[in-house]
């Protein structure tokens, strides 16, 4: 299981304010807290800062890497911001978040993935836009896996993201993702699957419970990585419990170790 901490994202009001004030300690503290809570990667997203995204990405990455040794997940559709982040994120194997099957985006981001030997999140999206059904996603998944592996990206570095849409916008949003995970597990067992979990709950009250339920459902379907809020201790408890219950934690070792470290409960 790979956990990417989602909290350094300027779509979050408090984080945006800290970035605008260049409050480095706030950002560093947020990075440390997520890693201490069990995150393996720290996501870095300043996509709302459209006028100087690349410069802000550089500032964020420099400060975060001084605070934690965990590798970083550079989260932007902007090629300049992606390169700026990757150039500085030299600790462990960085993660590119994300490439898509959109022709131009694929051509621009692929060289960066190869240059930095990065893990890559491949979003199920192409020039036709956001997919609705699992059938739409399957076609895109096949193209992404074929094109990435043919270009020399190891299967183990590929994280397919089915693209989670809010359940408030359509009753089948969860089901279509589950069906996509089953498909990927069967057809491409060597690649990973990841999602932005908190997307599922946009627009509804008490979001945490929807995020937690969807984590368990998707993990049961075979998802093996998440972008989530690692400071939600109930969520982290469900992650360790699910791993053990799905036969992915020999002798409940991680469940026990996380309990002893106070990571849930
Ligand atoms: N796939 C991939 N990357 C992603 C996503 C994805 N990166 C961004 C996002 N989706 C995952 N990260 C977040 C971060 C925050 C929130 C949701 C997903 C969130 N923020 C509150 C909101 O916007 O309402 C902020 C509230 C506040 O102000 O604090 O929910 O799907 N590959």
Whose CA is closest to atom 7 on ligand 1?
Answer: 196
The vertex-165 CA angle with 161 and 166, nearest 5°, equals 145
Phi-psi region of 252 (alpha: psi -120 to 50; beta: other; left: phi over 0): left
- CA dist., res. 93 & res. 139, Å (int): 29
Q: Which atom of ligand 1 is nearest to the CA of 164?
A: 31
CB atoms within 10 A of CB 150: 8
Query: Could you give the CA distance from residue 153 to residue 157 in angstroms, rounded to a whole number?
Result: 7
Would you state the pLDDT for residue 230? 98
With bands split at pLDDT 50, 70 and 90, how would you rate the model's confidence at 240?
Answer: very high
pLDDT digits 0-9 by tens, 71-125: 999 999 999 999 999 999 989 999 999 999 999 999 999 999 999 999 999 999 9
Over range 115-138, report the average pLDDT: 96
For the residues of 48-74, what is the DSSP string, one character each? T-TTSHHHHHHHHHHHHHHH--S-EEE
Whose C-alpha lies nearest to ligand 1, atom 14?
6
Q: Identify the three-state secondary structure at position 264.
A: coil
**Residues lining ligand 1, judged by CB closer than 6 Å?**
6, 9, 11-14, 45, 75, 97-98, 121, 123, 161, 164, 195-196, 198-199, 227
- 17-44: pLDDT as tens digits: 999 999 999 999 999 999 999 999 999 9
Please, are residues 215 and 243 in contact by the beta-carbon 8 Å criterion? no
What pLDDT shows up at residue 90?
A: 86
Cα separation, 81 vs 53, in Å, equals 6
Give the closest residue to 90 by CA, choosing from 65, 119, 64.
65
Q: What is the pTM of this model?
A: 0.98
Pick the residue whose CA is nearest to atom 19 on ligand 1. 198
CA dist 74 and 90 (Å) reads 12
Taking domain 116-219, whether its CATH number is 3.90.25.10 is answered by no
Residue ranges of the alpha helices (H) in the chain? 13-20, 24-36, 53-67, 79-88, 103-115, 134-150, 173-187, 207-221, 233-245, 253-260
Question: Which residue out of 199, 200, 218 has the highest number of ligand 1 atoms within 8 Å of its CB and is therefore the one to mutate?
Answer: 199
């Amino acid at each position: 299981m790979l956990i990417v901490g989602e909290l350094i994202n300027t779509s979050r009001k408090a984080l945006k304010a800290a970035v605008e004030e260049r409050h480095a300690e706030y950002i560093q503290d947020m990075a440390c807290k997520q890693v201490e809570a069990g995150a393996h990667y720290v996501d870095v997203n300043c996509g709302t800062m459209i006028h100087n995204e690349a410069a802000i990405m550089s500032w964020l990455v420099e400060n975060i890497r001084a605070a934690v040794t965990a590798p970083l997940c550079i989260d932007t559709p902007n090629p300049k911001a992606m390169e700026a982040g990757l150039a500085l994120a030299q600790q462990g194997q960085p993660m590119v978040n994300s490439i898509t099957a959109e022709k131009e985006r694929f051509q621009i981001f692929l060289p960066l993935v190869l240059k930095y030997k990065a893990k890559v999140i491949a979003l199920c999206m192409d020039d036709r836009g956001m997919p609705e059904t699992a059938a739409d996603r399957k076609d895109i998944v096949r193209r992404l896996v074929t094109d990435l592996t043919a270009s020399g990206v190891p299967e183990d570095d590929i994280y397919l993201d089915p693209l989670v849409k809010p359940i408030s916008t359509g009753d089948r949003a969860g089901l279509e993702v589950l069906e996509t995970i089953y498909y990927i597990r069967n057809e491409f067992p060597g690649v990973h699957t990841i999602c932005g979990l908190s997307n599922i709950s946009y627009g509804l009250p008490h979001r945490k419970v929807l995020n937690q339920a969807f984590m368990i459902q998707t993990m049961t379907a075979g998802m093996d990585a998440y972008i989530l809020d690692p400071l939600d201790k109930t969520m982290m408890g469900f992650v360790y419990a699910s791993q053990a219950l799905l036969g992915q934690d020999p002798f409940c070792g991680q469940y026990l170790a996380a309990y002893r470290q106070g990571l849930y409960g």
